[in-house]
Amino acid sequence: MVMLLSVFLCGQVSAGEPQDWPRWRGPTGQGVANGATLPEKWPAKLEPAWTATLGIGWSSPVVNQGRVFVTDRVDNTEQVLAFDAATGKPLWKREDPVDFDPHAVGARHGNGPKSTPAVAAGKVYSLGIAGRLQCLDAVTGNRIWEVNFPSRFGIHQKLRGGRAYVNGTESVIVPIAEGEGAPVPLFGYTGSVLVAGGLVISPVGGAKGGTIMAFDANTGREAWRALDDEVSYSSPVAARLAGVEQVVVMTGPEVVGLELSTGRKLWQYPFQIQYNESIGTPAVADPYVVVTGDSRPLTALKIAKSGDGCTLDIAWKNRDLTSYLSSMVIREGHVYGMNDGGELGCVRLSDGKTVWIDGHHGYYCTPLLSGSKLLCLNERGELLVAMATPEAFQPLATVTLTGEADAGPNRSTGRRGADGLRRATWTSPALVGNWLYVRADRQLAAFDLRTAR
């Protein structure tokens, strides 16, 4: 969602060296793209340098060392795929069988993977919709280790009818062996894995597991487990708060801070969302943790050190910027994001005061921040570029990201915007140097931002 103009053009400003985009919401997990160069003027449309046909799924692309990684599902096979970042040449794919269909409420979003993979130290970590956590070699795609969550941590039971089925409003029972199944969340595993401190950290749950668990990044061995809450659909983030390295995560009924090395609970705050559907990723700027959810206000928690743990105060609550799906970004003492009405807003971090709410850009939008610019891709493939400033809502451009309409092996019924990508662009893009990578409906599109005019 950012456009870098050609190096021959003027007016470009670079903020440090370009960084890879190795996980959900970028290098820091906070939606910040460093080293990007943005144009003074933006085109009305931008065409992709290359596209690749994908199966179903809504995981975001990640980029590392000249490779793009993404997951999808084709028929009854779940895949992790690698492409050359500059040319789109397929490099490898890892295929595994999958049998999962969500509760009917989530049918619109399909039965493909939604958890975004992570790349670290030459390894790719992915979590499938039915709970297959695996570590792959980033160059070859060879599997190094695997942990099957329902098989290891769920209650084994007879698999009715021989295939996955929805168990009322409690879970989906998925196959783990011949004639045997175990439960996973109603909409599958959607939270993206976190790799930090030599650990792979993920929501797990199940009768024999912790709500949040950590596994050795090299071997897959269990390192620690924490809590016995219901899992949510949110993603954990790593942060240093009150001088302590922590994992901040939303479970079904609360927001918690866990010591990164041990999983020890440092603090907790009740934040129950209906049906345990916390989705957005916490935004963190020491000492603040900012969270929101369906019918809940944007809430800032202020974390302080206390003995060998932490305390928290509720700093403020704000109902103007509440969001069911979207995550927020923080810049220079202000929180920016999209509310459930599709409006972009700015809230002061110190006291929660609404500075401005304006525009109507759409839904399913989690903004990225590049320098002083907000980059907001909506579900129609339209990129809004606006200033991240408390002065006022200052839109700079709205750019249509165009793309081929090839439906690929599984024909899509999704609508498209005029001359644009498939209408369903529900994922958060990856921005690396001169390239923007967008996962749309059945398609991965790469935009060489040096060609923008």
Q: Above 60 in pLDDT, residue 38?
A: yes
Distance CA 48, CA 58 (A): 19
The neighbouring-strand residues paired with 451 are 5
pLDDT of 364: 78
Is 328 buried (19+), middle (13-18) or exposed (0-12) by CB count in 10 A? buried
Nearest alpha carbon to residue 193 among 152, 157, 247: 247
388 Cβ partners below 8 Å, 6+ apart? 329, 331, 332, 334, 336, 369, 372, 373, 374
pLDDT confidence band for 416 (50 / 70 / 90) = very low
Tell me if residue 278 falls in helix, strand or coil. coil
403 near 48, Cβ under 8 Å?
A: yes
CB atoms within 10 A of CB 170: 11
pLDDT of 6: 28
pLDDT-wise least confident of 3-12, 181-190, 299-308, 424-433: 3-12
442 near 415, Cβ under 8 Å?
A: no
Nearest alpha carbon to residue 289 among 370, 243, 368, 349: 349
pLDDT of 423: 55
pLDDT of 1: 32
144 Cβ partners below 8 Å, 6+ apart? 123, 135, 136, 137, 218, 220
SS3 content of the chain, % helix, strand, coil (to 5): 5, 45, 50
Tell me if residue 162 falls in helix, strand or coil. helix
